[in-house]
C-alpha cells in the first residue's frame, strides 16, 4: 500500500479512506478492468455468420496477446493467485466478468442461429482460456488460430 500511495501521490491514510484494505483495492481495480473489457466487447463487430464470428473473436484475442506488456487474462491470473482464498472479493469479480463474457458469447451465437448457444459458448470459453494460457506460456499466437478451428468444429457438430 505504501508503493501504491506514493505512485498515486496520496498519503497512505488517504488511500485507506477510499479502500479500507488491500483486498478492497484489488477488487476495485479488477471491477474497473471488467467494466472496460465488457465495454470493448459491446463495441466488438459481431458478424452474423458463425464462422466469421469465431474467426473475429479469436483474431481479436491473438491481436491482444501480441501487445508488448500482455501477461494473459488478469481475471484468470487473480483467481489462480488467490486460489486458497475462496471468499476474496476479487474472485467474485473475476467470476462475474467471465460469466458476462460467456453470456455475450452465447448471445452472439444465438444471433448466428447456432443450436444450444449456451452450451457452445461454454465450450468456446474453455478454448479461449486454454488459448490465452498457452499463448502466454509459449508466446505463440498460433494457439488462438487452433482454438478458432476447434471452436468452429464444435459449433458445426452442435
pLDDT in tens, 136-153: 899 899 999 999 999 999
Among residues 97, 94, 99, 87, the alpha carbon closest in space to that of 21 is found at 87
pLDDT at 158: 64
Calpha distance 147→136 (Å, rounded): 14
pTM for the structure as a whole: 0.84
Count of Cβ atoms closer than 10 Å to residue 145 Cβ:
16
Amino acid at each position: 500500500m505504501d508503493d501504491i500511495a506514493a505512485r498515486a501521490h496520496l498519503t497512505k491514510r488517504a488511500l485507506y479512506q477510499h479502500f479500507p484494505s488491500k483486498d478492497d483495492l484489488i477488487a476495485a481495480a479488477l471491477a474497473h478492468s471488467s467494466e472496460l473489457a465488457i465495454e470493448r466487447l459491446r463495441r466488438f463487430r459481431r458478424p452474423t455468420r458463425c464462422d466469421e464470428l469465431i474467426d473475429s473473436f479469436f483474431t481479436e484475442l491473438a491481436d491482444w496477446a501480441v501487445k508488448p506488456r500482455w501477461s494473459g487474462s488478469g481475471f484468470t491470473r487473480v483467481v489462480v493467485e488467490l486460489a486458497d482464498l475462496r471468499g476474496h472479493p476479487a474472485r467474485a469479480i473475476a467470476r462475474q466478468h467471465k460469466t458476462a463474457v460467456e453470456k455475450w458469447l452465447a448471445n452472439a451465437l444465438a444471433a448466428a442461429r447456432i443450436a444450444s448457444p449456451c452450451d457452445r459458448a461454454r465450450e468456446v470459453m474453455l478454448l479461449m482460456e486454454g488459448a490465452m494460457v498457452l499463448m502466454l506460456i509459449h508466446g505463440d499466437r498460433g494457439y488462438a488460430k487452433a482454438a478458432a478451428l476447434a471452436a468452429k468444429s464444435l459449433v458445426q457438430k452442435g
